[in-house]
């Protein structure tokens, strides 16, 4: 499955969840539900995966935690906040660079329309 095919599955799942539950829940709730949905579809999920950061001779085993990585190809960064800031997009791009992955979706469930809450971030895709 390509990154774009996985992205379509993710966006569809986010739409269904947002339509049913709406905005305003904790990020952890959306993360749990997305994990359930993707597992039901038979997708490989890594949740709260520790990603190392290496700087010169220092290796931090847990530089950050990725909310969800789907099929070892797409990172989902989940938010439930009033406004996505430029730093959130830069954060996800940094995650992509550190993991070598090419596609990430920044999903803010705290929007009236979920289409306004999904931002696609690419790294050499």
User: Per residue of the chain (125 residues), what is the pLDDT tens digit?
Assistant: 999 999 999 999 999 999 999 999 999 999 999 999 999 999 999 999 999 998 999 999 898 999 999 999 999 999 999 999 999 999 999 999 999 999 999 999 999 999 999 999 999 87
List the structure tokens of 70. 């789907």
Per the listing, tokens 């979706």 go with 105
Taking the C-alpha atoms of residue 98 and residue 59, their distance in angstroms, rounded to an integer, is: 12
Phi, psi of 112 (to 5 degrees): -65, -40
Domains by residue range for the chain, with CATH = 3-122 (3.40.1350)
pLDDT at 48: 97
How far is residue 81's CA from residue 124's CA, in Å, rounded to a whole number? 28
Question: How much is the pLDDT for 47?
Answer: 97
Give Cα 107 to chain centroid, integer Å.
7
Q: Is 100 left (phi over 0), alpha (psi -120 to 50) or beta?
A: left
Predicted confidence at residue 124, as pLDDT, reads: 86
pLDDT of residue 51: 92
């Amino acid at each position: 499955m390509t990154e774009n095919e996985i992205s379509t599955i993710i966006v569809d799942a986010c739409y269904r969840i947002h339509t049913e539950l709406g905005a305003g829940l904790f990020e952890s709730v959306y993360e749990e539900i997305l994990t359930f949905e993707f597992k039901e579809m038979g997708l490989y999920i890594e949740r709260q995966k520790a990603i190392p950061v290496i700087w010169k001779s220092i290796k931090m085993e847990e530089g950050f935690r990725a909310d969800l990585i789907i099929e070892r190809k797409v990172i989902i960064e989940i938010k439930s906040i009033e406004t996505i800031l430029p730093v959130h997009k830069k954060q996800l791009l940094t995650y992509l660079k550190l993991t070598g992955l090419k596609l990430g979706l920044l999903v803010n469930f705290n929007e009236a329309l979920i289409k306004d809450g999904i931002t696609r971030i690419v790294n050499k895709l």
